[in-house]
Amino acid sequence: MDRRDAVNRRQALRMLAGGGAGATALKAMAGGTAGFVSMMGAMPSPLEAAQAATRRGLPRLKITDIKVIMTQVGNTNMTNAKVFTSEAGLYGVGCGGHAERQSIVAQTIEQFLKPAVIGRYADEIEDIWQMAWLAPYWRASVDANNAMSAIDGALWDIMGKRAGMPVHNLLGGKVRPALPMFANINGRDLAQLEENARARMAEGYKHLRVGAVGGDGSDPPGGRGGGAGAGAGAGGRGGGAANGITGGQGNLPGGGGVGSPGFGDRGPIYRSRGPGYQYSNNLIKSIEHLRKTVGFDVDLLAEVDFRLTPSEALVLGKALEPFRMFWVEEFFAPEDVAWHQILRQQCSTPAAWGEVAVSQLEWVPLVANRWIDFMRMHISACGGLNMARKTAAMCGFFNVRTAWHGPGNVSPVGHAVNTHIDFATPNFGCGEGAPFSTQLQEMFPGVPERKNGMTFSNDQPGLGIDIDEKVAAKFPPRSPGTDRGVRCYDGTACRP
């Protein structure tokens, strides 16, 4: 076929794509019936026809409105948003997170982002994200990050719904059929800890995050204002399970606030915490007991959450090395991240980090220098799905696995975002999140399904989840957010 034939063929394809008028023009151009029949011998292949149809496309959608939906289930505040489009009935949902300052996130969306994006095309996800990232001038504000996450997630949801495919397909498609999750275990004593570990293993869990039996000396556990139940896990956080099995999910019925001591007459109500060695000793004893009893055929995790000084954390990392941990998370606070280099030089205990990160300036050096093994960032706090997909790709180059933060103060929409990235991420490690309560399943139809210690996708278009506003209206926020406060055994303020 010479160049003129190729040009004529492209013209013919464009005219066929134009419908009846294009066919008429094509017939005239071909010189009558004989010419048209002759042209039939050079009809496009199925692939070419599909590409031509795709190029015709659908009309671009504009963002017409944004609605912020604030709820409080138990002691957990959740901020979500619906982004509406110029196509009637088509909207997306997103998670704004930040239970501690819910009202500020909602205000940021309503007063700053909403006016900036209404009228924009809904498919301009990257450009809208960049605009929102730079708009406050000060980079990586956790309030602004959570607000932009709500918009960003909703735009990905819209794109998936309009394409008729789940978001994980837009990210490259599934690389695994289901996602392994970890279960939190604790106990009044070592015997109950072992019993709970065996129970979770019998349910199919292959990853157990171990709470230190005896805790960290917090009195009372969970905080005087938090209402934490006996399910307080490794971090002393509210659980809702009477037997201490599923600690860490404060949005379960009757669950305590996730690290939320509440407000007193003069600010936050603080709980006290014992010295660092008390927690370290209790955790080492708990891990050692499980390795002696249930063995090494299950992965064990632990959560330090900055409660130790850097030197104490180094001692703990080396002490846990013989027990072949899957990970120990948050050895060091954000201001101490450089200590990861020293940890890596001294022991091989896998380190997970990122729960309170808000900027790539914090995690890029840790990943690029291979000082951590798992990225644990809270997706909405870092700016949403758009930032997380880039972070996951970067981590893959350095063999760092993802394990997004997913406790009870992440809304089900946020959990859905986590899972879609996880399904499409080759370097995914393990997921976090307890089964959803009946209340949350009613409020968020389409929540990710949990079975046999694994999470499955419903494979519905978009994020596959929605927000029932009638149910949400039954759970209005009772406060502008929550607060956290911890004082060390000597009365000084220390990290939550």
The string of DSSP letters for 278-307 reads HHHHHHHHHHHHHHHHTTTSSEEEEE-TT-
**Given this model, what pLDDT does residue 83 score?**
98
Residue pLDDT, tens place only, 104-159: 999 999 999 999 999 999 999 999 999 999 999 888 889 999 999 999 999 999 99
Whether pLDDT at 353 is above 50? yes
Is it true that 63-165 and 179-460 share their CATH fold? no
Tell whether domain 63-165 is in CATH 3.30.390.10.
yes
**Given this model, what pLDDT does residue 461 score?**
96
**Distance between CA atoms of residues 121 and 111, nearest Å:** 19
**Given this model, what pLDDT does residue 481 score?**
83
CA atoms within 13 A on the CB side of 199: 15
**Of 384 and 252, which is predicted with more confidence?**
384
Whether pLDDT at 231 is above 50? no
Give kind and range of the element (H or E) at residue 495.
Answer: none
How confident is the model over 317-329, as a mean pLDDT? 98
How confident is the model over 418-424, as a mean pLDDT? 98
Cβ partners under 8 Å of residue 27, min gap 6: 33, 35, 36
**Given this model, what pLDDT does residue 213 score?**
96
**Given this model, what pLDDT does residue 269 score?**
55
State the average pLDDT for the chain: 83
Task: Please report, as a single letter, which amino acid is at residue 199.
Answer: A
Residue 299's pLDDT band (cuts 50, 70, 90): very high
> In this structure, which CATH number among 2.60.120.10, 3.20.20.120, 1.10.150.240, 3.30.300.30 belongs to the domain 179-460?
3.20.20.120
Cβ partners under 8 Å of residue 431, min gap 6: 179, 180, 181, 182, 403, 404, 406, 418, 419, 422, 455
Whether pLDDT at 308 is above 90? yes
Domain boundaries along the sequence of the chain: 3-56, 63-165, 179-460
Whether pLDDT at 249 is above 50? no
Whether pLDDT at 181 is above 90? yes
Q: Would you call the peptide bond into 220 cis, given omega within 30 degrees of 0 as the criterion?
A: yes
Task: Please report, as a single letter, which amino acid is at residue 364.
Answer: V
Beta bridge partners of 91: 84
Residue pLDDT, tens place only, 35-81: 443 444 567 777 777 666 655 677 889 999 999 999 999 888 999 99
**Of 435 and 367, which is predicted with more confidence?**
367
Residue 393's pLDDT band (cuts 50, 70, 90): very high
**Given this model, what pLDDT does residue 77 score?**
92
Contact in structure between 146 and 157 (CB atoms under 8 Å): no
Whether pLDDT at 229 is above 80? no
**Of 264 and 213, which is predicted with more confidence?**
213
* Integer angstrom CA distances of residue 111 from 60, 72, 101, 206: 26, 22, 16, 45
Whether pLDDT at 15 is above 80? no
Residue pLDDT, tens place only, 198-208: 999 999 999 99
**Given this model, what pLDDT does residue 158 score?**
97
How confident is the model over 274-283, as a mean pLDDT? 90
